[in-house]
């Protein structure tokens, strides 16, 4: 068995164990294999083992890999998105996790219209730990941003929120932030009305995804735990 296949089995087992612990159905949790900096051959290996959701954090890298890999892969853009790059990726992603301003949402909407793309699915990135080094809106600003995106754009499918929790050694330290994410979802539902489904929570990485699942993550983004350490930092 290759390392990647073995790692995937371990991650799947951990997902199932965390779901059992929390009384959740593992089908509620989508595993996104974060393949940034990793070669196409590694992605193909994970694909052959059954993975269809892959996450990349740079537009350029995502587009290059997309061209070389099977067409049924669902690509997730998980890194910061600059407005001037929107035109390249609209219509190519399954989900953009990192929308953090009304201006960016409007640019996505504008490019979607220009390219005849009916809907672009997104999440709002929340800077859950209020860290200066991180992107994302302040937790208290998330409901207001959701409200404005829903009323001021027409081609955006807004599904929920995403966070990159602080780097910690003990994953329990991040439980508070995952709980806070769930509260933000409740605030959003109260603000926009319960008929709108804004209930996706993309949270949890290699170091803390079991805790994120226990607190309700519907998408987890795992890189190192599947592909091994990255050779260079990004």
Ligand X SMILES: *Cc1c(COP(=O)(O)O)cnc(C)c1O
Residue 221 in the binding site for ligand X (CB under 6 A): yes
Question: 């350029």: which residue's tokens?
Answer: 60
Question: 């993975």: which residue's tokens?
Answer: 51
Closer residue to ligand X in complex, CB, 171/225: 225
Contacts of 40 (CB under 8 A, 6+ apart): 65, 68, 69
Residue 225 in the binding site for ligand X (CB under 6 A): yes
Please say whether the beta carbons of 108 and 86 come within 8 A. yes
Which of 24, 36, 38, 76 binds ligand X (CB under 6 A)? It is 36
Residue 59: closest CA among 83, 23, 27, 40:
83
Closer residue to ligand X in complex, CB, 216/225: 225
Identify which range of 2-10, 102-110, 128-136, 199-207 contacts ligand X by CB under 6 A. 199-207
Q: Report DSSP state, residue 71.
A: T
Look up residue 215 and give its two tokens: 């607190």
Question: 């209930």: which residue's tokens?
Answer: 199
Helix segments in 98-221, DSSP class H: 102-115, 142-152, 175-192, 209-214
Backbone angles phi, psi at 102, to 5 degrees: -65, -35
Which of 57, 93, 111, 127 binds ligand X (CB under 6 A)? It is 57
Which of 19, 79, 81, 122 binds ligand X (CB under 6 A)? It is 79
Closer residue to ligand X in complex, CB, 101/153: 101
Look up residue 136 and give its two tokens: 């994302």
Which of 200, 205, 211, 213 binds ligand X (CB under 6 A)? It is 205
| Chain residue whose CB lies nearest ligand X | 223
**Mask 127-166, x = binds ligand X (CB under 6 A)?**
-------------------------------------x--
Closer residue to ligand X in complex, CB, 158/220: 220
Residue 222 in the binding site for ligand X (CB under 6 A): yes
Identify which range of 39-47, 58-66, 177-185, 202-210 contacts ligand X by CB under 6 A. 202-210
Which of 11, 33, 34, 59 binds ligand X (CB under 6 A)? It is 34
Residue 80: closest CA among 63, 102, 56:
56
Please say whether the beta carbons of 27 and 14 come within 8 A. no
Site residues, ligand X (CB under 6 A) = 34, 36, 57, 78-79, 164, 205-207, 221-225
């Amino acid at each position: 068995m290759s390392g990647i296949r073995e790692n995937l089995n371990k991650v799947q087992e951990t997902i199932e164990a965390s779901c059992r612990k929390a009384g959740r159905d593992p089908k509620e949790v989508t595993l996104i294999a974060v393949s940034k900096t990793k070669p196409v051959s590694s992605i193909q290996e994970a694909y052959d083992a059954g993975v269809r959701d892959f996450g990349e954090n740079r537009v350029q890298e995502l587009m290059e890999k997309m061209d070389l890999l099977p067409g049924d892969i669902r690509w997730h853009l998980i890194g910061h998105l600059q407005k001037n790059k929107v035109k390249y990726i609209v219509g190519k992603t399954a989900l953009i996790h990192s929308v953090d301003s009304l201006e960016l949402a409007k640019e996505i909407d504008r490019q979607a219209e220009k390219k005849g793309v009916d809907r672009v699915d997104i999440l709002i990135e929340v800077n859950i730990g209020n860290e200066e080094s991180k992107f994302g809106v302040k937790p208290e600003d998330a409901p207001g941003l959701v409200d404005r995106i829903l009323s001021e754009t027409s081609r955006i499918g807004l599904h929920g929120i995403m966070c990159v929790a602080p780097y910690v050694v003990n994953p329990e330290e991040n439980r508070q932030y995952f709980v806070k994410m769930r509260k933000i979802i409740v605030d959003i539902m109260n603000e926009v009305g319960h008929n709108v489904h804004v209930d996706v929570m993309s949270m949890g990485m290699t170091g803390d995804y079991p805790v994120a699942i226990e607190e309700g993550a519907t998408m987890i983004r795992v890189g190192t735990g599947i592909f091994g350490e990255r050779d260079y930092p990004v």
